Amino acid sequence: MDALGELYSELILEHYTHPRNYGDLPGADRVEEGYNQSCGDRVVLLLKLRDGRIEDIRFRGYGCAISIASASLMTEHLKGRTIQEARAFAQEFKDFVTGKREKLSPTLGPLVLFRGVGRFPMRVKCATLPWHTLSLALEEKNASQEEEEKEIT
């Protein structure tokens, strides 16, 4: 299969038309928005954290098949993971699609489908948008906010 064919594989299109974990997340601890200007993709990521783990995750937004499928597949792989694991996955995936890394660990399973993205620089931003947004959502600067919210409840 050629790179473009691989990029728009059945699974990616399936996640695009039926995104997983799409919608609202009442009581989310972290809400982060990402925008990819070159394509017009917008992703809003909502996270519920508990004991250093991602207890629940949802996303909203709109965009091309690559960005939506990447967000959908990402959420499937993050539920129940620790914040540290999630950060490491984000780095790994970004390195993988930009060609800094040759293989993706088996844990990330079907995300290997984004292998072909690297040949299309415009599409790299689409694929990494949800992961950049995730990294921002998990930044330490947001941690104090979470503590404050805990105190209130």
Residues that bind Zn ion (CB under 5 A): 39, 41, 63-64, 67, 126
* Cβ nearer to Zn ion, comparing 19 with 63: 63
Closest separation in Å from C-beta 51 to Zn ion: 35
Closest separation in Å from C-beta 60 to Zn ion: 16
Which residues have a Cβ under 8 Å from the Cβ of 36 and sit 6 or more positions away? 42, 63, 67, 125, 126, 129
* Cβ nearer to Zn ion, comparing 65 with 143: 65
Which of 81, 76, 94 is closest to 133 using CA atoms?
94
Closest separation in Å from C-beta 132 to Zn ion: 13
* Cβ nearer to Zn ion, comparing 33 with 139: 33
CA distance 53 to 149: 17
CA distance 40 to 69: 15
